């Protein structure tokens, strides 16, 4: 088994400095690993810390303790303690992330938003845009929208731009935060298929899916986040 990420005893507490230093413990004792060619799903009730875990793996949230070891260009790097420049390099080449909502940049077309992760990896602009167009077509995004900035798109249209942006690269690790939340049944099926292809290509995926049908279709195993707090083995 080719292990691409190992999280060990990860812990996080939010301290609300604007609220008199109130402490909000979010997760503790979080330990799991991700292997190539499989999709793990974070499970557990709302508020248990699923999104926070994804954000820690991506380096958006810091950790209080624990390690998040990632296989990056043949080295094992601890995302939890890596310097910000290295975290950016890991995001460029090793860990992709589909967030729930698109952060649209004004005046940038949907095609260029989706193509950007390839451009920053040095792929030629027309090749990257063609790849984005192929994904948009597969995701049934109307062609008349492709050259428009996505800020005014519907929730489901924006989510499909975000999915194309996340799936366009061949990152070995891909994090998915509710990628199907705003999609209709037909497009949920497209995403299930995209995930299956990523697995077949050898990527390690970790996702949050509230939709039970999607979860059943993609999950190789469920990581029960509530069990960490209870001190049990979760995976
Ligand atoms: N930036 C933040 N500052 C303060 N508290 C936060 C922050 N992000 C998350 N939290 C808190 O951490 C807890 C876990 O939130 P998180 O979004 O990780 O849960 P979740 O399991 O993904 O929930 P859901 O299934 O509802 O999306 C919540 O109580 C939330 O209020």
Structure tokens at 65: 């303790």
- What is the reported pLDDT for 106? 82
Looking at every residue in the chain, the average pLDDT score rounds to 93
At 21, the pLDDT band (50, 70, 90 cuts) reads confident
Cβ pair 14, 66 in contact under 8 A: no
| Minimum CA distance residue for ligand 1 atom 28 | 47
Interatomic CA distance for residues 167 and 198, integer angstroms: 8
* 215-231 pLDDT, tens digit each: 999 999 999 999 987 66
d(CA 58, CA 62): 10
Give tens-digit pLDDT for 98-156.
Answer: 988 878 778 999 999 999 999 999 999 999 999 999 999 999 999 999 999 999 999 99
- What kind of architecture, by CATH, is found in domain 1-94+173-235? 3-Layer(aba) Sandwich (3.40)
Residue whose C-alpha is closest to residue 10's, from 29, 26, 23 = 29
To test ligand 1's pocket by mutation, which of 23, 27, 28, 47 has the most ligand atoms within 8 angstroms of CB? 47
Distance CA 164, CA 158 (A): 10
Q: For 60-103, what is each residue's pLDDT tens digit?
A: 999 999 999 999 999 999 999 999 999 999 999 999 999 888 78
- CA 208 – ligand 1 centroid, Å: 13
Pocket of ligand 1 (CB under 6 A): 14, 24, 26, 46-52
Give the pLDDT of residue 129: 97
Q: Which atom of ligand 1 lies nearest, measured to the CA of 61?
A: 1
| Nearest ligand 1 atom to alpha carbon 210 | 25
- pLDDT of res. 6: 97
| Cα–Cα nearest to 113, from 157, 79, 81 | 157
C-alpha 53 – ligand 1 centre gap (Å):
9
For residue 56, pLDDT beyond 90:
yes
Q: What's this model's pTM, rounded to 2 decimal places?
A: 0.94
Dist CA 53 CA 152 (whole Å)? 30
Q: Which of 90, 100, 86, 231 is CA-nearest to residue 169?
A: 90
Burial class for 18, CB neighbours closer than 10 Å (0-12, 13-18, 19+): exposed
The pLDDT, as a whole number, for residue 232 is: 52
| Main-chain phi, psi angles of 118, to 5 degrees | -75, -40
Distance (Å) from CA 24 to ligand 1 centroid: 10
């Amino acid at each position: 088994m080719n292990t691409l990420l190992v999280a060990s005893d990860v812990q996080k507490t939010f301290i609300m400095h604007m609220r008199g230093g109130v402490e909000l413990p979010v997760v503790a004792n979080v330990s799991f690993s991700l292997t190539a060619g499989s999709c793990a799903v974070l499970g557990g009730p709302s508020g248990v810390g699923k999104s926070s875990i994804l954000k820690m793996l991506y380096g958006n949230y810091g950790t209080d303790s624990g390690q998040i070891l990632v296989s990056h260009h043949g080295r094992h790097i601890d995302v939890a303690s890596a310097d910000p420049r290295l975290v950016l390099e890991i995001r460029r080449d090793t860990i992709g992330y589909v967030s729930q909502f698109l952060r649209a940049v004004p005046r940038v077309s949907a095609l260029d938003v989706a193509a950007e992760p390839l451009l920053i990896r040095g792929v030629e602009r027309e090749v990257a845009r063609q790849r984005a167009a192929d994904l948009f077509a597969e995701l049934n995004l109307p062609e008349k929208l492709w050259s428009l900035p996505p800020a005014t798109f519907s929730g489901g249209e924006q989510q499909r731009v975000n999915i194309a942006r996340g799936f366009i690269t061949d990152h070995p690790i891909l994090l998915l935060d509710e990628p199907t939340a705003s999609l209709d049944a037909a497009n949920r099926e497209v995403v299930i298929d995209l995930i299956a292809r990523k697995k077949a290509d050898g990527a390690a995926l970790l996702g949050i899916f509230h939709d039970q049908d999607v979860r059943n279709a993609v999950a190789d195993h469920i990581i029960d986040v509530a069990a960490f707090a209870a001190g049990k083995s979760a995976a």
